[in-house]
A and B are shown apart, each in its own frame.
Chain A
Amino acid sequence: MTTTGRAWVFGDDIDTDVLAPGQYMKGPVEELAKHCLETVDPLFARSVQSGDVLVAGRNFGVGSSREQAVQALRLLGISAVVARSFAGIFYRNAISLGLPVFVSADVGHVKPGETVTMDSDAATLTLHKTSQTIECEPLPSFLLDMIRDGGLVPHLEKKLKGGKPTA
């Protein structure tokens, strides 16, 4: 699985209230997504494009268990998140919803707006301008399988309907 897009670079402790503001939680996620990250970057939701990669610092997704934080990023077209570290519940939610998430100590090399290619199988992020390849920690294979299936629900569908379980 590889995707190519622009890098959106954020700092440490990007929280779920910034990703999925509470005041929009009662409505459809399509509406909520328009406000994703607006308190730190008002242009993000209207400028992000399909295939773009979100790059962040420590503890990305800290806060609530609301998975609208993941859904909003997916709806906006984010194809992967690479961060120095993730908050645990966000990390689990991302995998359950089929959004590839990778941990890398080298996220500091990524410049905002530059073109990057994420290779989920190899767990690498390639920066086109410098041809630099950033190594990420590989996902355990059963979690990568879940992402390949499109998340937990299709994964379970396969399992419950007697297909070959991948975990």
Chain B
Amino acid sequence: MVKTLAQKIIAKACGQASVDCGDVVTARVDLAMLHDSGGPRRVKPILERLGVPVWDPEKVVVVTDHFVPALDDDTQAIQMLTREWVAAQGVRAFYDQLGICHVVVPERGHLRPGMFVVGGDSHSPTGGAFGAYMFGIGATEMAGVLAIGEIWLKVPETILIEWTGQLAAQVTAKDIMLFLCGRFGMDGGQYQAVQFAGEAIAALSMQERMTLANMTAEFGGQTGLIAPDKVTRDYLAAAGAPIDDDDMAIWQTDPDAQLLAHHVFNAGDLQPQVAAPHSPANAVDVSACEPTTVDVAYIGACTGAKLDDLRMAASVLKGRRLAPGVELLVAPASRRDQETAETEGVMAVFKKAGARILPTACGICAGYGEERLAEDAVCISSTARNFRGRMGAASSNVYLGSPYTVAASAVAGRIADPREIMAEPSTS
């Protein structure tokens, strides 16, 4: 019987030959990812109450990224607790202040096609880019997984979103996701499995695919899947998690599998998108965005500060200066990506343009730290969410765009189309 990729992964995790959409099942977890906010500090007391250790320390990965840097007593105590818990439970995969979990975990080879993975963070669908069924859960459910190694779920239907043709220059995965949020709303995914396919998706780099899967959270899907192909295989080989032809063949949606919906878009028609405050669903073509001067431009987060994102922003900023009065903040998503960006001269471009480099962490996107948007500040951001007050004062206004659009707006001093800014001569 023909099945979707989501059904195949869940069937394997349930130890069944097949599962039907709508079935409520209990699945074994292949990997549980925790971070410092919803992780050890929250699950430790629950496991103590239940009187059990972690079911399998080899299937747990912990990353500190939210309370980073830990600048006060409270956050330092959280980091200490995290380190002590990881050691006490025998968890070997621990990445302490090396970047954001959604980027660090795949870069270290923990994700592979066909895995059933839970993450203690809403952007966990990012792992779907590798053909893993990965989704976000809260701390109590995570404690339950850590106690017994399994979790319930309703087998989802699949919404297939196909992008034919090729994206134009300076149009990105981020623009695709903002467009989809604008078109279908933040509940467009109906908490089902979303799968991305088509020529334009096949042409995307692995990190661009991660941006698609990542923002499935904003689109309202449980996960955002991309079936493995050569791009996946090459990335995983470099990350130390090689896959073979069988993995590639198995972890696909069968051609005639039943879908909840199948949407087809022409990638060549897509324009750079900007989402106005206070929802990603307020997305419009950048040309239709009302004239808006900006105070802050932010390149950050798992959504918008991976190596590819940094490269995009730098390609706009090279030989250009920030508009007077605009502050450009750059918080690379992982230490490894930052180091590569240093080697490539990408970080030098930011510094020369006048950007301020922030710690490699969730930073302003999560709204946890000292850095916050001021009252009435207008920000254009490469992050995923522009909810009221998330990144700072309730009176601040956040617009979302691709790294190209954020960088172009920093140069123009207003929300700008990157193609327009890049058409102007630079000094190099």
Chain A: which residue is nearest B24 at the CB level? A140
B279 at the interface (CB under 8 A from A): yes
B187:A65 contact, CB within 8 angstroms: no
Residues B138 and A156 in contact, CB atoms below 8 Å apart: no
List the one stretch of A21-29, A108-116, A118-126, A128-136 in contact with chain B.
A21-29
Contact call A22/B141, Cβ cutoff below 8 A:
no
Q: Report the minimal beta-carbon distance from A167 to chain B, rounded to whole angstroms.
A: 7
Query: Which of B46-54, B158-166, B200-208 faces chain A?
Result: B46-54
Encode B111-151 as 1/0 by CB contact (under 8 A) with A: 00000000011101000000000001111110110011000
Known contacts A62-B186, A65-B38, A156-B147; A93/B140 CB under 8 A: yes
User: Residue A59 at the B interface, CB < 8 A?
Assistant: yes
Contacts A87-B220, A157-B49, A157-B50 hold; do A151 and B187 have CB atoms under 8 A apart?
no
Within 8 A of B (CB), among A22-65: 22-23, 25-27, 39, 58-59, 62-65
Q: Is B74 an interface residue (CB 8 A)?
A: yes
A1 at the interface (CB under 8 A from B): no
Whether A65 lies near B122 (C-beta < 8 A) is yes
Q: In whole Å, how far is A151's beta carbon from the nearest beta carbon of chain B?
A: 7
B142 to A: closest C-beta gap in Å = 9
Do the beta carbons of A22 and B137 come within 8 Å of each other? no
Find the A residue at minimum CB distance from B41. Answer: A26
Complex Cα gap A18–B148 (Å): 33
The complex places the Cα of A144 from the Cα of B155 at a distance, in Å, of 19
Chain A: CB-nearest residue to B78:
A26
**How distant is B100 from chain A, measured CB to nearest CB, in Å?**
14
- Which of the residues B38, B148, B187, B385 comes within 8 Å of A87, measured between beta carbons? B187
Given A39-B394, A65-B38, A65-B137, A25 and B389 contact (CB-CB distance below 8 Å): no
State in angstroms the CA–CA spacing of A92 and B185 once bound together: 21
Closest residue of chain B to A93 (Cβ to Cβ) is B138
Which residue from B26, B38, B46 sits with its C-beta under 8 Å from A66? B38
CB atoms of A96 and B138 under 8 A apart: yes
Q: Is the CB–CB distance between B138 and A153 below 8 Å?
A: no
Chain A residue numbers with a CB within 8 Å of B143 are 152-153
| A151/B140 contact (C-beta < 8 A), A17-B367, A26-B75, A167-B152 known | yes
Q: Is B235 an interface residue (CB 8 A)?
A: no
Q: How far is the CB of A89 from chain B (nearest CB, A)?
A: 5
CB distance from A148 to the nearest CB of B (A): 16
Asked, given contacts A13-B186, A23-B367, whether A65 binds B138 with beta carbons under 8 Å apart, the answer is yes
Whether B298 is near chain A, meaning CB under 8 Å from some CB there, is no
Are A65 and B279 in contact, CB atoms less than 8 angstroms apart? no
Contact B136 A65 (CB under 8 A): yes
Q: Are B37 and A66 in contact (CB under 8 A)?
A: yes
- Contact in complex: B186, A160 (CB < 8 Å): no
B222 in contact (CB, < 8 A): yes
Q: How far is the CA of A27 from the CA of B41 in the complex (A)?
A: 12
Question: Once the chains are docked, how many angstroms separate the CA of A21 from the CA of B390?
Answer: 7
Instruction: Say whether B366 faces chain A, with CB atoms less than 8 Å apart.
Output: yes
Residues of chain B within 8 A of A22, CB atoms compared: 366-368, 390
In the complex, how many angstroms separate the beta carbon of A39 from the nearest chain B beta carbon? Answer: 5
How far apart are B16's CB and chain A's nearest CB, in angstroms? 17
Q: Which residues of chain A from 71 to 125 have a CB within 8 Å of any chain B CB?
A: 85, 87-89, 91-93, 96-97
> 29 A-B pairs, CB-CB below 8 angstroms?
A18-B389, A23-B368, A25-B37, A26-B67, A26-B78, A58-B185, A59-B186, A59-B220, A62-B220, A63-B122, A63-B385, A64-B121, A65-B38, A65-B124, A65-B137, A67-B38, A67-B139, A87-B191, A89-B122, A89-B137, A92-B137, A93-B141, A152-B140, A153-B46, A153-B144, A156-B144, A156-B148, A157-B50, A160-B50
In the complex, the 5 A-B pairs of residues with the closest C-beta atoms, listed nearest first: A22-B367, A88-B191, A67-B138, A93-B138, A17-B390
User: What is B's interface to A at a CB cutoff of 8 Å?
Assistant: 24, 26, 37-38, 46, 49-52, 66-67, 74-75, 78, 120-122, 124, 136-141, 143-144, 147-148, 152, 185-187, 191, 220, 222, 279, 281, 366-368, 372, 385, 387-390, 394
Residues of A within 8 A of B (CB): 13, 15-18, 21-23, 25-27, 39, 58-59, 62-67, 70, 85, 87-89, 91-93, 96-97, 140, 142, 151-153, 156-157, 160, 167
